[in-house]
Structure 1
Amino acid sequence: MIWTPGREDRVDGMPTAGEWRRLSVVPEKREVFGCDLYFREGWADVLSVFGGDATGVLDGLAMLVVKPDAVAGRRLGPIMEYLADNGFVPVATTRFGYTRHSMREVWRYDWHIYTVDRLQLCTFWYLTNDVLVFLARDVRPVPGLPATVRLCDLKGVGDPARRQPHHLRTKLNPPNRMLNFVHVGDEPADIVRELAIFLDRPERLRFLEDLRAHLGEDRTAQARAEIAALEADCPAHDLDLAAALSRLAPLAGEAAAARLRDVAASGPRISWDELAELVPFEKADRWDVIVTASFVVHDERPVPHALLPPVSPEAWTAR
């Protein structure tokens, strides 16, 4: 039997039509996720742990994932403060590491705009150190608005020109639009899918069981302990371009450093392979390379349209 969106009976554990309405407001996403391997596996596990309460539990949770640059740049403390200031209480936290494949799967429907050069940079960057995923309970809920949609709106977009002073990314002061520190699940459906990408099934089930056992608690202390352990394993970095180029100059030569300064200041951007010719990666500090690359490597290409429509809080509250 082939599953089709809107069927009220379950086929292979898929959401009913009523559950889909609480997981996503985007019809195209519901159709795509109905065939998505990670969503299907993730939903089966969420159902096995929470049963008929699954959509209600997801509705009250926001998912925030820090990126490797947030760890090196020591932004995790400010992230915790922002969550608390905006009515989000951590209830589950776990550590994981991206792989070449998982990073592409999480942003399968977004990274089509990236150049091959930026994909090479992302592979180098995202595999540098472990990260954390937080699930946080919304203690200031907005009627009709899932917690993760509210937090995603507060996060702010990648383009600094379109951010507001109250946005999380504004508060974190990223060095550029590429190193932007955090990812937030767009909708409850994205929480389901992305947990299945981040965590293998045994670890995912343990995480979900732990969440169920402590759903009503404030587990800020546990989250801060996870942060401390992760930061102990990852040296801090200033994420500053000028400082990075000053450290690279003795290794690459002043002419190469001057070339990179010119590219960063006025372009045009260069390829990943050209950067590798200018900078001896094997001798350089990895984060100096990442920071420099984020300013000089070809980053985006023109594409005709988004693969999935964007999600807006208004689309949820207007229903």
Structure 2
Amino acid sequence: MTSSREEPIRYHRDTYYLESVQQLGADAWPFAERHGLLLLKPDAIVARGVEPTLDWLATNGYRVVAAREMAVDRLRARALWYHNWHIASPERRTIADLMVELSPSLLLVVTDDRSGPVAPRLTEGKGPTAPKDRRLGELRHLLGGSTYLLNFVHTSDTAAEVLRELGVYFGARDRLAVVHDALQGLDREADARRIAANLYESAPEQSFDLDVAKSALIEQLNASNLRPDSQGTEWATALRDAWHQGTPLDPWPTIVVGASVLPMRIPPPRPIDHDVDLDEGAQDS
């Protein structure tokens, strides 16, 4: 590996990154620079967002060279977002855990014919997480969505992240198979559409309308004497109380309402030894 060395250095003790690098050897970095990973999450599946995504990729010069159905459970989700999950609120983690149970995801390996690493270019075109910051022409703007959490797609931001996430998604044999497919360079869009059709069969299309979601939850909440009004703060309290009491709620409307009324981020936590007296510690050493 001869370029962007500041990125690999960040992961020199990351097991997922090292597994990919050690398996692919000298081919690791060339592969990572020439490919990007795009994950269509369960919210994209129930929104029927695969076909618009494939059309957007083709229009923007990308080619799908491998496609896999991908089960992203709560542990794999934490591995993917390990470097950022510490600022996720507890409520966001709860909602994310509900979402990964809705459906498997669809992972695409893409490439293009332009110079420079593919991953950062793909991430820039994807658009930001915050809906207010999305712009016309970006993938997330095309797919819609009005909340921070329901953002449909995830991409590897850098070439090093491509390698790390290959380690998260796949064991050695499956990783080698998907890299082999990608290196053939064949257009695998038809494979992606076939996988999407299978996922759609087991994951019904869902409404993202907030009022519809609230109506779906209100009877279940009222039955447990949790009576939210139209104000977001009351809905937030009702959802927290329902989770605390173990009240069963329909997952999808809970996700839609929770993503709208609950906090998604918290300040970075202080180091665990933040309050340690360094002078005192030095005397003990």
Question: If the TM-score is normalised by the length of the shorter chain, which range does it land in?
Answer: 0.7 to 0.9
Residues 85 and 257 (structure 1 numbering): CA distance in 2 closer, same or farther, change over 3 Å?
farther
Cα distance in structure 2, aligned partners of 1:269 and 1:117: 10
Cα distance in structure 1, aligned partners of 2:28 and 2:104: 28
Cα distance in structure 1, aligned partners of 2:262 and 2:246: 13
Indicate the larger mover: 113-122 or 94-103. 113-122
Q: Does 1:40 align with 2:18?
A: yes
Q: Any conservation in 2 of the 1:271–1:298 contact (CA below 8 Å)?
A: no
Q: Which residue of 2 aligns with 1:285?
A: 250
Q: Any conservation in 1 of the 2:226–2:242 contact (CA below 8 Å)?
A: no
The SS at the match of 1:202 is helix
Letter in 2 for 1:218: D
Cα distance in structure 2, aligned partners of 1:272 and 1:199: 35
Q: Which residue of 1 aligns with 2:158?
A: 187
Structure-to-structure mapping, 1:1-319, within 5 angstroms: 16=1, 18=2, 21=3, 24=4, 27=6, 29-47=7-25, 52-139=26-113, 141=114, 143=115, 145-212=116-183, 214-215=184-185, 217-253=186-222, 256=226, 258-259=228-229, 261-263=230-232, 269-270=236-237, 273-276=240-243, 280-281=247-248, 284-303=249-268
Question: Equivalent pairs: percent with the same residue?
Answer: 26
Unmatched runs of 5 consecutive residues or more in structure 1: 1-15, 306-319
Cα distance in structure 2, aligned partners of 1:68 and 1:298: 21
Q: Any conservation in 2 of the 1:97–1:130 contact (CA below 8 Å)?
A: yes
Q: How many residues align?
A: 269
Cα distance in structure 1, aligned partners of 2:24 and 2:33: 13
Unmatched runs of 5 consecutive residues or more in structure 2: 271-285
The SS at the match of 2:267 is coil
Residues 268 and 248 (structure 1 numbering): CA distance in 2 closer, same or farther, change over 3 Å?
closer
Cα distance in structure 1, aligned partners of 2:204 and 2:53: 18
Q: Any conservation in 1 of the 2:33–2:118 contact (CA below 8 Å)?
A: yes
Residues 257 and 220 (structure 1 numbering): CA distance in 2 closer, same or farther, change over 3 Å?
farther
Cα distance in structure 1, aligned partners of 2:76 and 2:104: 13
Residues 271 and 34 (structure 1 numbering): CA distance in 2 closer, same or farther, change over 3 Å?
farther
Q: Any conservation in 2 of the 1:118–1:272 contact (CA below 8 Å)?
A: no
Residue deviations 1:36-81 (CA, integer Å, cap 9, x gap) = 000000112233xxxx444333322121011111111111111111
Cα distance in structure 1, aligned partners of 2:65 and 2:51: 16
The SS at the match of 2:146 is coil
TM-score computed with the length of structure 2 as normaliser: 0.85
Q: Which residue of 2 aligns with 1:13?
A: none
Residue deviations 1:160-205 (CA, integer Å, cap 9, x gap) = 2222211111111113121000011111111111111112222222
The SS at the match of 1:253 is helix
The SS at the match of 1:189 is helix
TM-score computed with the length of structure 1 as normaliser: 0.77
RMSD of the alignment, in Å? 2.4
Cα distance in structure 2, aligned partners of 1:91 and 1:257: 50
Letter in 1 for 2:261: V
Q: Any conservation in 2 of the 1:121–1:272 contact (CA below 8 Å)?
A: no
Residue deviations 1:9-39 (CA, integer Å, cap 9, x gap) = xxxxxxx4x1xx2xx46x2x43231110000
Instruction: Note the C-alpha offset of 1:210.
Output: 2.5
